[in-house]
Amino acid sequence: MIPLTIPSPVFRRASTRSQIPSFAALPSYILAGFVICLATITGVTLPLQAQNIETIEQNVTEFTLENGLHVIIIERDVAPVASFVTHVNVGSVNEQLGQTGLTHVFEHMAFKGSTTIGTTDWESEKAVIAKMDDSYRAWLMESRKPNPDQEKLERLWAEFEELQEEAGQYVVNNEFSQIVELEGATGLNAFVSADETAFFYSLPQHKAELWFALEADRFINPVMREFYVEKNVIMEERRDRIDNSPFGRLIEEFVSTAFSAFPYKHHPIGWPSDIEAVTIRDAVNFYKRHYVPSNITISVAGDVDPVRMRQYAEKYFGPMEAGQTPPKVMTIEPEQRGERRFIIEEESQPILMIGYHSVDENHPDAVALDILSGVLFEGRTSRLHRRLVTEERKALQIGGFNGFPGSRYPGLFLIYAIPNQGVDLSDIEEIIYEELDRIREGDINESEIQRVRTNARASVIRGLSSNQGMALNFAQAQTKRGDWRAIFTDLDEMDEITADDLQRVAETYFRKQTRTVGAIRTLDEATASK
């Protein structure tokens, strides 16, 4: 068996995992937070000593434009570069039923330029795009009828393809990327998860005004250029990450089983029929609802002048219309009535997943649950790794964390395991429950908690050791926690957590009634013949 690289949660409480993930190392199913990304994050990495954390605030300037857009400037004069992040408080959790995957589609569109970049004649291109979308919608409506007219379908599709080819004649491929890369950009990237969307890259510090000009342009004047071409790309991503990935299939089945009503039940990449059905009109409406200034945080870290950065922000983002407050997710997951179980039988190595309904990252119990996950899974000396992997050699891999597939709203405390050859999944599951029961009974000591605290503080330092890491973590904490200082105040809160707190949250949340268990069981000849 080949061990799967399953990282710790990428985007949860900043105090326990404030870090920049290496997306290239993630497995194809994108376990951590259901993240969908373009490339690997890079940035200027420089040492940050623990004793300097308290001084960071002195180098931070933040302000909010009149239209509601929040800006955080972090001065770091250690190199003549800066990293820039545009963080949007929108993820797949905000998608409407029937339009899953739309957040991801729009993220692709943001790299297609604007009304002035990426086109030879926007007015002509715009007219063709509108006709193309009408043509596709007509084909879609006919294709979804109980008895579609095949002759009409062929005619409409031919018309659509002709318009798509015509629109392509105006496209200047990758012009946005080429402009910034010629100016010295590195780490041009973006990601979408269940909770959030972010765009980021680094530039020489004297190119800061260029970043503000280009970034404002692509979000004030977005275009749906090559929209249906990109949908084909996304369909291929889905086949690679979910349809052709055992873990991807398990994850998709798992969340759709664990959640009855709440939109965490949908993978950010979307259901195939929804990806097919989404149109340019849908994407434009989605942009208007969610890409408003009050839903956006900009973070800049590097050798920059905060006064000048404010001038640039007001000049380029100030004209962005405030828009209406984005709609809130009103659905509340109903209380689970009993344990849920499913098994997927296929020709794959066996995998076990267990999830308990948990809390959002701003809940008072979230820090205790994060510490508990560290006690159970973090490092070779953690309880379940030591017992299952090191001592009894029953598992090839064991892990878990709180806040899956997202943490903005109540998610799951997730546990996953891959057994060694010849070990039954039920043996692994039984040991996991034994360890959880030990904690419920109060069998936990201060040294275990202190180890997690120490690792958490080190993790924060690592996550803030680069311009890109600092910019992204500050933007995330500001948006999801309401204040970037939560990165540090959470560490103080961790110091107050006791063994009694861990026992209490274990008793509260690790209940069979709130549990979902999913597994892949290897399909053997005996099973296949039944």
Question: Taking 50 as the threshold, does the pLDDT of residue 376 lie above it?
Answer: yes
Question: Taking 70 as the threshold, does the pLDDT of residue 12 lie above it?
Answer: no
Q: What's the confidence (pLDDT) of residue 459?
A: 86
Residues 6+ apart with CB under 8 A from 529: none
The rounded distance, in Å, linking the Cα atoms of 500 and 270 is 41
The rounded distance, in Å, linking the Cα atoms of 244 and 237 is 10
Question: Taking 70 as the threshold, does the pLDDT of residue 169 lie above it?
Answer: yes
Question: Taking 70 as the threshold, does the pLDDT of residue 214 lie above it?
Answer: yes
Per the model's pLDDT, the better-predicted residue between 398 and 57 turns out to be 398
Question: Taking the CA atoms of the chain, what radius of gyration do you get in angstroms?
Answer: 24
| Token pair in block for residue 525 | 């000849």
Query: Rounded to a whole number, what is the distance in angstroms from the first to the last CA of the chain?
Result: 26
- Asked if 399 contacts 389 with a C-beta cutoff of 8 angstroms, the reply is no
pLDDT in tens, 486-502: 988 888 899 999 999 99
**What does pLDDT average to over the chain?**
89
Query: Span 1-15, mean pLDDT?
Result: 33
Instruction: State pTM to two decimals.
Output: 0.89
Nearest by Cα to 300 from 322, 319, 317, 320: 317
Question: Taking 80 as the threshold, does the pLDDT of residue 24 lie above it?
Answer: no
pLDDT in tens, 106-150: 999 999 999 999 999 999 999 999 999 999 999 999 999 999 999
Nearest by Cα to 83 from 468, 469, 466: 468
**CB count in 10 Å sphere of residue 485:** 16
Sheet holding 296-302, edge to edge: 36-37, 186-192, 197-204, 81-88, 296-302, 70-75, 60-64
Q: What's the confidence (pLDDT) of residue 462?
A: 83
Identify the H or E element spanning 86.
strand 81-88
- Reported in sequence order, the residue ranges of 252-308 that DSSP labels E, i.e. its strands, are 296-302
- Give ∠ CA 394-396-402 in degrees, rounded to 5: 100
The rounded distance, in Å, linking the Cα atoms of 483 and 485 is 5
Q: What's the confidence (pLDDT) of residue 460?
A: 85
What topology does CATH give the domain 340-528? Answer: Cytochrome Bc1 Complex; Chain A, domain 1 (3.30.830)
Q: What's the confidence (pLDDT) of residue 27?
A: 39
Query: How deeply is 168 buried, as exposed, middle or buried, from its count of CB atoms within 10 A (0-12, 13-18, 19+)?
Result: middle
The rounded distance, in Å, linking the Cα atoms of 484 and 499 is 28
- Reported in sequence order, the residue ranges of 327-470 that DSSP labels E, i.e. its strands, are 340-346, 351-357, 395-404, 412-419
Nearest by Cα to 468 from 20, 2, 168, 155: 20
Q: What's the confidence (pLDDT) of residue 34?
A: 54
Query: Span 174-182, mean pLDDT?
Result: 96
Query: Span 412-435, mean pLDDT?
Result: 96
Q: How confident is the model at residue 17 (pLDDT cuts 50, 70, 90)?
A: very low
Query: Span 318-336, mean pLDDT?
Result: 95
Q: What's the confidence (pLDDT) of residue 52?
A: 53
Q: How far is CA 338 from CA 190, 341, 360, 429, 515, in A?
A: 39, 10, 21, 18, 7
The rounded distance, in Å, linking the Cα atoms of 466 and 485 is 17
Domain boundaries, the chain: 120-170, 340-528
| Token pair in block for residue 156 | 């409409």
DSSP 127: H
Query: Span 141-164, mean pLDDT?
Result: 97
